[in-house]
Amino acid sequence: MKLHVHILCVLAATTLSAGGTIIVCDMLRGKDAMTVRRAHNNQHLEILDGDKCVLRYNFKNVPVPKTAKGKYAVARGDYIHPLYGPRGEVLTKDYSPEHPHHRGLYWAWPEVFYKSQKRDLHALQGVFARPDKIVGTVTGKDSATIAAASKWLWDTEEIVAETATITSRKAIADGLRIIDLKFEFTALVEGVSIARRGQKAYGGFNMRFSARKDQKIVKYTDPVGKKPRRAWAQIVGVPPEGKDAVSVAVFQHAANPHYPGDWVDYPKLNWLQPTFPSKGAKYVLTKGKPLVLRFRLCIQNGKMTDKQLAEQWIDFNRPARSK
């Protein structure tokens, strides 16, 4: 029986990496296993490391709280919140009073072009990501993965198919946890393109964090011509109800189109992101050909050193991980 379960898990990992149908595999490894559970009447999925929640992926819409007001306070799904620190600290912010459309970790663009119009997926105006299906989950002793499909709706028309794949590894020394993210966007119709705000500011993989005491944001990109050219950033500080500093580092994958993306941060909003596409560009989503973007998050107690950051970028960009 143990051999049979192992075979199923290998098959699941294979189909996941190939983008096919995933075999749902929940390995019974005891209380220390990485698992996935459905929460809030199957509205959301949570990854757990033993009995500790790592993150919640909000698959379906999260309703607007009474504290959120204005036209940007719109029910939404397809994002990660909360993201938790090593001691259970909440590291992300949702439905912020001053920017109620900000929603933890989310992948969206403020400029989506279609039919000679421009709408705003980032601010939830006129185009929305709506749940399609949970492609599957893979769980085991050392990692857990969620893959979920959504459709972008322009009014009622489906214009883009999206798949988000979220993989968390088990925490190790200093509470270090690695979370790999892969996003695939495929146009279902001709004439869809995406861009940053004003084609020069924010847009892409957005990260709105909870408030930080003694917050520091550090961004790094190797100069043009250096090989390999590395790119990472981190935000460090004491999160709400936390006692010590926690860092969240983000790494760009060199296989991403337009790599490396510009770093954009707004310290007063606890905001940090690698942008996509390049400044001044509209990126055309080609029907039948997915845009693939990959990022890695590293979360740990205290600040990550330059050596740790360099090692994580190299590990993330090994050839086996770019397939």
pLDDT in tens, 65-104: 999 999 999 999 999 999 999 999 999 999 999 999 999 9
State pTM to two decimals: 0.91
d(CA 91, CA 193) in angstroms, rounded, equals: 31
Token couple for 33 = 């296993």
What is the side-by-side strand order in the sheet with 44-49? 34-39, 44-49, 52-58, 79-83, 105-108, 204-207
Task: Look at residue 14 in the predicted model and tell me its pLDDT.
Answer: 36
d(CA 106, CA 102) in angstroms, rounded, equals: 8
Token couple for 316 = 């993330």
Which regions of the chain are under pLDDT 50? 1-29, 321-323
Task: Look at residue 140 in the predicted model and tell me its pLDDT.
Answer: 95
Task: Look at residue 320 in the predicted model and tell me its pLDDT.
Answer: 64
Task: Look at residue 174 in the predicted model and tell me its pLDDT.
Answer: 77
Token couple for 218 = 């550090």
d(CA 198, CA 185) in angstroms, rounded, equals: 21
Q: Does domain 27-322 have CATH number 3.40.1130?
A: no
Give CA angle at 144 (314, 55), nearest 5°: 90
Domain boundaries, the chain: 27-322
**How many helices (H) and strands (E) are present in the chain, helices listed first?**
2, 20
In sequence order, which residues have a C-beta less than 8 Å from that of residue 20 and are 6 or more positions away?
A: none
DSSP SS3 for 48: strand
Task: Look at residue 28 in the predicted model and tell me its pLDDT.
Answer: 45
Task: Look at residue 30 in the predicted model and tell me its pLDDT.
Answer: 58
Can you list the positions of beta strands (E) in the chain? 34-39, 44-49, 52-58, 79-83, 105-108, 111-114, 117-119, 127-139, 143-154, 157-169, 177-187, 192-195, 204-207, 213-221, 231-238, 246-252, 263-266, 271-274, 283-285, 291-301
